[in-house]
Amino acid sequence: MKNDISTTLFKEAKNIIPGGVNSPVRAFRNVDGDPFFVDKAKGCRITDVDGNEMIDYVGTWGPAILGHAPESVINAVGDAAKNGVSFGIPNPFEVDMARLIVDWVPSVEKVRMVSSGTEATMSAVRLARGYTGRDKVIKFEGCYHGHVDSLLVAAGSGALTHGKPDSAGIPDAFAAETIILPYNDLGRVEEVFAKMGEQIAAVIVESYPANAGLIFPREGYLQGLRDLTTEHGSVFIFDEVMTGFRVAKGGVQELEGITPDLTAMGKVIGGGLPVGAFGGKAEIMDYLAPDGPVYQAGTLSGNPLAMAAGMAQLREMERIGGYAKLEVLGARLEAGIRGILKQKGLPYQLNRVGSMFCLFFTEEEIVNLDSVMTADTAKFKKFFTSMLKQGIYMAPSPYETGFISAAHGNEDIDQTLNAMDQAFSEI
C-alpha cells in the first residue's frame, strides 16, 4: 500500500493534535503502525488519500449500517440543510425521531435526544440517581459507557486498547461511587445487592458488551439483573449505543425479551452524524428538567441534520428489509470463518450476532473481560497487517467489534474470506 500522503499528514497532525488523532483508537498504537487518512467512502469501501481502496468492516465504528454515503441519507441531509443546519429551537424532525424510537424500542415511553453516546449514558446515570435519591452505580468489567468520569473504570474500547482501563483526571471520590463487577457472574451482583441494595441507584450494562470484542450474556443473566433491580428499587439501564437499531429494530431488548427502565442509544440513529439519545419509562423521564429536578441540556440536541440523517437511515433499513439482509451476510461470513478455522486446525473463538462480529485469538470461551484478555495480541497484529495489505480494513484493535453493512455483498464477503485464509497462513 502507498502511504506517502498519509504519513505526511500524520506527521503534521502529531504537532497540532494530541497523538495526531481526535479519538485514541484511531492512532493504530495497538497494531504497531500509523493510521491512514481517508479521502472518501462509498458503500462498503473506503479510499485513503494515497488512493488505496479497502473493504471496510469498521463502518464509522457502527453507524454506517447502510454503508457509506447512502443516497437516501445524503439527500435527506442536503434537503434539511437548505432550511438551516441548527436552530436551538424545537423542529419537526425531533418529534418524528422521538415517535420512531418509541415505536421501535420496546421499553421506551419517552425519549430525549443528545449529541453522543457518552452524553446519553452520562445523562441516564444522572437521571437514575435523581429519580432514586441514591448514589451508587454498578457497572461491569470491560463494558464501556463513554468517557464519563464515574463510568471510565475497568472500561473497554480505547481504554483497553492503550492498556489504561482507568483514566487519569478522575477523582477517587467519583470512582468510589461506582461498583465494578465481572460480567456474566450473577452471584456477585446478588451479593452486592444483599449488602447495600438500598444504596444502589442503578445497574448499567452493555447488554451485549461490544467494546471488549463481543461478549454474549449467559442464559438468565440479563433477566437476573432485571429481577434484582426491580426487587431493590434500582434503575436498570441498557447501554444500546452499539447494539441499538443494529442487531434488530428494538436492539438487544427485543432479541432477549428484557425490558430495562432506561436505554442509552446512539450511532445508527444519527446516520453518521453526531447523535445520542436516552429514553425509558415516562415516570422516570419526567424527572428531567423542565418538568423535573434533574438538569440536562444540549445546544445541538435534536439538530435537524442529525435527525434527518437518522430518520432517513432507519426508514431505508425498514424499506429494504435491512436486518434480514444483514443476518444473511453475517451468517455467510461466520460460516466462512469457521470453515477456515476448522480446515487449518485453529482454536480461535468467533462471536457474531447479526451484522456484528469479533474474532478472538484464544482457545478460551469468551464470557467476560478476563477471557477476552487471554487473546494473543501478537497474532492479532499480524492478522490485522495482512488483512490491510490485502485491502480489508478491520478495527485496529483486538478489543473492537466488526460491522457489516447493507452495502456489503456476497462478493465482498468472499473476498474477505480469501484474505483471511491468507492471513491465517501467515500467523
The Cβ of residue 99 has, within 10 Å, a number of other Cβ atoms equal to 12
Query: CA torsion, points 73, 76, 81, 84, in degrees to nearest 10?
Result: -130
Reduced to 3 states, what is the DSSP secondary structure of residue 418? Answer: helix
> Which grid coordinates belong to 49?
488519500
The Cβ of residue 328 has, within 10 Å, a number of other Cβ atoms equal to 12
Catalytic residue among 139, 267, 379, 381: 267
Q: Are 185 and 368 in contact (CB under 8 A)?
A: yes
Name the strands in the sheet holding 349-353, side by side, starting at the edge strand that comes first in the sequence.
Answer: 349-353, 356-360, 402-403
Q: For residue 387, how far is the Cα from the chain centroid?
A: 23
Q: First-to-last CA distance in the chain?
A: 20
State the residue for C-alpha cell 470512582.
175
Catalytic residue among 239, 261, 348, 412: 239
Q: Establish whether 267 is a catalytic residue.
A: yes
Catalytic residue among 48, 57, 131, 144: 144
Q: What is the DSSP letter of 218?
A: P
Q: What is the DSSP letter of 202?
A: E
CA–CA separation, 331 vs 49, rounded Å?
A: 33
CA nearest neighbour of 236 among 195, 193, 197, 280: 280
Quote the radius of gyration of the chain (alpha carbons, Å): 21
Q: Are 93 and 312 in contact (CB under 8 A)?
A: no
* DSSP string of 236-249, one letter each residue: EEEE-TTTBTTTBT
CA–CA separation, 386 vs 389, rounded Å?
A: 5
* DSSP string of 267-304, one letter each residue: GGGGTTSS-EEEEE-HHHHTTBTTTSSB----TTTT-H
Residues forming the active site: 144, 239, 267
